[in-house]
Structure 1
Amino acid sequence: MSGSRKQGRPGGWAFQLVAIALAAGSVALAGLLSLGGDDSKSGQAQSGASRPAPTTRNLSDEQRSSRWAHVLGPTVARRRPDAGSPQVLRLTTRTSDRTPELVLALGELRAPDGSRWVRVRLPMRPNNRTGWVPRATLGRYYEVTTFLRVDRARLRATLYDRGRRVWRAPIAVGTSSAPTPPGRYYVRNRILPNDPNGRYGVFAFGTNGYSPGLSDWPGGGVVGIHGTDKPQLIPGRVSHGCVRVENRAIGRLRRLMPLGTPIEIV
């Protein structure tokens, strides 16, 4: 299948840096530093300058304003914003569908040593994992104002733009033995199927979510949102975990939902 890319608006430094208060830590650190030196030479406490506090900024609220970025080169997502922290996932520049890899950026931190780290949602099992990657390993930020909510109980999906509903349609979700996994995800790629009359219909969105139990289907079990060649089964619980939408409705969603759009499956 061939990929179709659509980017949101370039993001900016729209959020004010929030200082992380280290009041108690600074007092303790100053106390420790005052004990340093050779007490035999001087009975006076020596003073030491505390390190500057790290600063953070929020990048995505995952509803009205969110940011994503391409992965520029192979990199490691870590548990904490530290090069020595344990590895969570090794990211590459391409998805299993051979489209450019991207991540949803949740927040950015500038460490006291000047290094910058970004907390991102990750494409991996188990679902709903996040990690930290160096800012230099990501491209420019793109902003999206859309948000998709998938309601498995009501068998309905709704797209919002800046909090306003702009699209809604009945859906089919996974069976009880192969359920559509709940959680927070994002649109990882946009795909034009080779056969518009096939099982994926006229269009498909790939997400960063995976079936918890199935891996022997496209992309290793990636949860997709796509059209269908069996519209009579919608609404229903008939898929292997993907979200099926009638072709006419998925055609409208194609025009409204860009890359990086946050998704909540409930």
Structure 2
Amino acid sequence: MKKGLSALVVAALLAGAGSAALASPLTPDPGRGGKARKAASGASCTARSYRGLRTTRYAYAAIVRRSARAYGRPDGRPFASFERINVNGVSTVFGVLGAVVDRHCRPLWYRVQLPLKPNGRLGYVRPWTVSLWPVRTRIVVDLSDRRVRLYRSGRPVLETRAAIGTTATPTPRGHYYVNQRLVPSDPSGPFGPGAIGISAFSEVLTGWTQGGPIAIHGTNRPYLIGGAVSNGCIRVRNDALRRMFAAADAGTPVVIRA
């Protein structure tokens, strides 16, 4: 498991957040192992203020250490619990949106995206229950032109055609994140060589296993790419899936738009 950012580094990047978010020189650079410059002496924040931790160039994943509880608001009551390993045997990960900080810019709570229904579910987790890790990739799925685009540090690095959900089983629009990457036992099967699980669920197939989770995956029927033929998942050609699978770490923001 990744070690994650130290408390000093997290405080430094939060001290440099605010309206400029991650553009501050105090921001850790994911391309250099997540290290940050030392926070300026005397850096301070307004106690219990909120600092955003996501732009189109950088984002952060929160990896559950042992267990974590999600709260509807800071100091509220927990509504969900998560273990270090999820039902599919991989690390439990949240997408980080920002943090509530103390006057020294140390995080008191992280505001995170959760892999729960309804789609787009948010919550707050305690910082000592997770490890923060920088992510510099982003995925955008355009349903209208049936294309998937992968960005690194804000720059496009991959564009590929995709198959999307049918009218009866549509691909859900919204803001999500990569919460798991899975390798099927049969690479020649319907998922191809891999599946990039995202924190979205089908809004119509409620009786499916695990609630009908949505994924970007490969295919054994490439001739259907470009059509509206799936149960809600996004299918891409296997060569594109391999590249995307290798690049898009857990925590990568995913936008699905019309």
Measured against the shorter chain, the TM-score band is 0.7 to 0.9
Q: SS of the counterpart of 1:77?
A: strand
In 2, the alpha carbon distance for the partners of 1:88 and 1:124 equals: 11
Q: Structure 1 residue aligned with 2:128, among 129, 132, 136? A: 136
Q: Identify if the C-alpha distance between structure 1 residues 134 and 165 changes in structure 2 by more than 3 Å, giving closer, same or farther.
A: same
Partner of 1:157: 148
Coordinate RMSD, CA, aligned: 2.6
Instruction: Establish whether residue 166 from structure 1 lines up as the match of residue 157 from structure 2.
Output: yes
User: Does the 8 Å contact 2:63/2:133 carry over to 1?
Assistant: no
User: Does the 8 Å contact 1:125/1:212 carry over to 2?
Assistant: no
Partner of 1:203: 194
Q: How far does residue 9 in structure 1 lie from its aligned partner after superposition?
A: 8.1
Q: How far does residue 252 in structure 1 lie from its aligned partner after superposition?
A: 1.8
1:216-227 equivalences under 5 Å are 216-227=207-218
The structure that has the greater radius of gyration is: 1
Q: Identify if the C-alpha distance between structure 1 residues 58 and 115 changes in structure 2 by more than 3 Å, giving closer, same or farther.
A: closer
Q: How far does residue 179 in structure 1 lie from its aligned partner after superposition?
A: 0.8
TM-score by length of 1: 0.77
What 5-or-longer segments of structure 2 have no aligned partner?
A: 19-45
Partner of 1:75: 68
User: Does the 8 Å contact 1:18/1:56 carry over to 2?
Assistant: no
Q: Structure 1 residue aligned with 2:253, among 243, 262, 265? A: 262
Q: Structure 2 residue aligned with 1:125, among 110, 117, 125? A: 117
Instruction: Establish whether residue 243 from structure 1 lines up as the match of residue 242 from structure 2.
Output: no
In 1, the alpha carbon distance for the partners of 2:197 and 2:98 equals: 23
1:20-54, Cα deviation, whole Å (9 max, x unpaired):
xxxxxxxxxxxxxxxxxxxxxxxxxxxxxxxx832
Partner of 1:16: 15
Q: How far does residue 178 in structure 1 lie from its aligned partner after superposition?
A: 1.0
Q: How far does residue 111 in structure 1 lie from its aligned partner after superposition?
A: 4.8
Letter in 2 for 1:94: I
User: Does the 8 Å contact 1:147/1:263 carry over to 2?
Assistant: yes
1:197-220, Cα deviation, whole Å (9 max, x unpaired):
101001111111111121444433
In 1, the alpha carbon distance for the partners of 2:121 and 2:170 equals: 19
What 5-or-longer segments of structure 1 have no aligned partner?
A: 20-51
User: Does the 8 Å contact 2:17/2:53 carry over to 1?
Assistant: no
Q: Identify if the C-alpha distance between structure 1 residues 259 and 115 changes in structure 2 by more than 3 Å, giving closer, same or farther.
A: closer
TM-score by length of 2: 0.79
Instruction: Establish whether residue 58 from structure 1 lines up as the match of residue 55 from structure 2.
Output: no
In 1, the alpha carbon distance for the partners of 2:81 and 2:3 equals: 25
Letter in 2 for 1:16: A
Q: How far does residue 10 in structure 1 lie from its aligned partner after superposition?
A: 5.0
Instruction: Establish whether residue 116 from structure 1 lines up as the match of residue 102 from structure 2.
Output: no
Q: Identify if the C-alpha distance between structure 1 residues 264 and 101 changes in structure 2 by more than 3 Å, giving closer, same or farther.
A: same
Q: SS of the counterpart of 1:187?
A: strand
Q: Identify if the C-alpha distance between structure 1 residues 213 and 95 changes in structure 2 by more than 3 Å, giving closer, same or farther.
A: farther
Partner of 1:106: 97
1:179-212, Cα deviation, whole Å (9 max, x unpaired):
1111111111111110011010011111111111
In 1, the alpha carbon distance for the partners of 2:152 and 2:239 equals: 20
1:80-104, Cα deviation, whole Å (9 max, x unpaired):
111xx24443222222312110111
| Aligned residue pair count | 226
In 1, the alpha carbon distance for the partners of 2:175 and 2:17 equals: 25
User: Does the 8 Å contact 1:17/1:55 carry over to 2?
Assistant: no
Q: SS of the counterpart of 1:14?
A: helix
Instruction: Establish whether residue 147 from structure 1 lines up as the match of residue 141 from structure 2.
Output: no
Q: How far does residue 254 in structure 1 lie from its aligned partner after superposition?
A: 2.0
Q: SS of the counterpart of 1:250?
A: helix
User: Does the 8 Å contact 1:8/1:143 carry over to 2?
Assistant: no
- Identity of matched residues, %: 34
